[in-house]
């Protein structure tokens, strides 16, 4: 501990703070997985167990205070793109998670990660984050009833006087106040208040959480199906997952290891993350990521794997609260999605919008992801447009050779469905 400039007490406190800031993911991730067809209780257990395993890997393989949990944005890609837009069953989507995790593992244990990262323009990387952020916000607004379908205009404002929407609005206001004041556990407190309000307004009934059955999770654990792996949509899904996972985690882990002043831990932390991603598919959830909330634990003094281990253990202990978690209404979950979406939107300032060959492909990604309800389609349009605009201006040398290959694969994804 002395070599890492920390103490056991500091690591324990950092692990506790990290847990408080990220425990909201149990309810939020399970709610999104439920939209893919995975039973809520099974999604809760899958989230908890996967987070615990990720903590074990990060603690003993990388000795880093980085928290691994099923990631926001990636879970939306899993549910709303792979399952709802591309037509994969949740079992096939879990298989895509597993295979993308294996690809990530190969990349993490070789130099391929750097080559892929260098081939993708920064403007497209940032646009993916922004587009997913808007998508999460849109999903949150829908879950909370603030935005509803409309036959004339596609979408419209919901009934602000209905109890579910009142829960959403009040929860959002309270969570925002807690968040801007940096109150520890702001998301968790906001969800607790929203659940209490839901009980008072009759949106949730007491005891609605019910009991928890391991048999239900038994249908999800190792429930991945490779029946669609001989079809193009499966591989488009796998490739898209792998690409987003690799880009997101390289950036996050690089930032976290720099924050603790131990950049030498980057490679092993990335490897632990990759292994955790593959395991996610077996456990029954969307892929894990190195969370932004890790910064809270690091700020509290976390420097070693003990921080991650404490957080993971607390996730395991939280299984005793599963009946309460199942009672949380959508209106209490929606504010978390909306606020996280707003945070991801900040990356737009890193895009060079003055250069139209950079800005327009990024704009396509940002606009099409939420409007098409498909992260893959949004990325595809941006990646196809980028080399086309560069070629049109005679700037072909600004496009790495590998990017032409990636763009070609996305073009096939857009064209082939029209030919069949």
Render pLDDT for 295-318 as a digit per residue (tens, 0 to 9). 888 878 899 999 999 999 999 998
Quick check: 131 pLDDT over 70?
Answer: yes
Q: CA nearest 370: which of 74, 32, 170, 80? A: 80
Give pTM, 2 decimals. Answer: 0.83
Region of poorest pLDDT, from 76-85, 233-242, 282-291, 407-416: 407-416
213 Rama class: left (phi>0) / alpha (psi -120 to 50) / beta: beta
Supply the pLDDT for residue 275.
97
Q: What is the mean pLDDT of the chain?
A: 89
Q: Residue 286 has what pLDDT?
A: 97
Give the mean pLDDT of 9-29: 90
Give the Cα separation of 117 and 250 in Å (integer): 8
Look at residue 128 in the predicted model and tell me its pLDDT: 87
- pLDDT tens digits along 86-127: 899 999 999 999 999 999 999 999 988 777 777 888 899 889
Whole-number pLDDT of residue 248: 82
Judged against a pLDDT cut of 70, whether residue 76 lies above it is answered with yes
| Cα angle for residues 290, 320, 291 (degrees, 5° grid) | 10
pLDDT (0 to 100) of residue 138: 93
How high is the pLDDT of residue 207?
62
Q: Is the pLDDT of residue 208 over 80?
A: no
């Amino acid at each position: 501990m002395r070599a890492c400039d920390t103490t056991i007490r500091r690591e324990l406190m950092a692990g506790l703070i990290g847990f408080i800031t990220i425990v909201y993911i149990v309810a939020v991730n399970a709610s999104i997985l439920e939209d893919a067809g995975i039973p809520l209780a099974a999604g809760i257990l899958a989230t908890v167990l996967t987070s615990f395993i990720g903590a074990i890997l990060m603690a003993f393989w990388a000795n880093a205070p980085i928290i691994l949990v099923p990631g926001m944005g990636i879970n939306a890609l899993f549910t709303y793109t792979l399952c709802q837009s591309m037509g994969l069953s949740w079992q096939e989507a879990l298989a895509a998670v597993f295979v993308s995790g294996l690809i990530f593992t190969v990349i993490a244990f070789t130099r391929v990660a750097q080559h892929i990262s260098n081939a993708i323009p920064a403007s497209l990387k940032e646009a993916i984050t922004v587009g997913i952020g808007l998508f999460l916000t849109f999903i949150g607004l829908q879950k909370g009833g603030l935005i509803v379908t409309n036959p004339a205009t596609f979408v419209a404002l919901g009934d602000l006087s209905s109890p579910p929407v009142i829960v959403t609005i009040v929860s959002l206001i309270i969570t925002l106040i807690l968040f801007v004041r940096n109150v520890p556990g702001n998301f968790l407190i906001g969800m607790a208040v929203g659940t209490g309000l839901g009980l008072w307004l009759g949106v949730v009934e007491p005891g609605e959480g019910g009991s928890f059955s391991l048999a239900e999770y038994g249908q999800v654990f190792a429930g991945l199906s490779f029946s669609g792996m001989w079809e193009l949509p499966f591989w488009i899904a796998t490739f898209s997952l792998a690409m987003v996972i690799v880009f997101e985690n390289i950036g996050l882990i690089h930032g976290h290891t720099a924050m603790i002043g131990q950049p030498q831990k980057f490679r092993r932390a990335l490897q632990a993350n990759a292994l955790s991603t593959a395991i996610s598919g077996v456990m029954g959830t969307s892929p894990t990521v190195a969370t932004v909330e890790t910064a809270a634990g690091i700020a509290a003094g976390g420097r070693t794997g003990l921080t991650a281990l404490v957080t993971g253990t607390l996730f395991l202990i939280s299984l005793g609260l599963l009946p309460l978690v199942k009672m949380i209404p959508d209106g209490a979950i929606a504010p978390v999605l909306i606020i996280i979406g707003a945070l991801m939107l900040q990356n737009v300032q890193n895009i060079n919008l003055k250069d139209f060959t950079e800005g327009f492909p990024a704009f396509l990604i940002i606009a099409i992801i939420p409007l098409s309800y498909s992260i893959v389609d949004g990325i595809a349009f941006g990646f196809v447009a980028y080399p086309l605009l560069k070629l049109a201006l005679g700037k072909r040398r600004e496009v790495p050779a590998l990017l032409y290959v990636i763009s070609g694969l996305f073009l096939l994804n857009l064209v082939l469905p029209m030919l069949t």
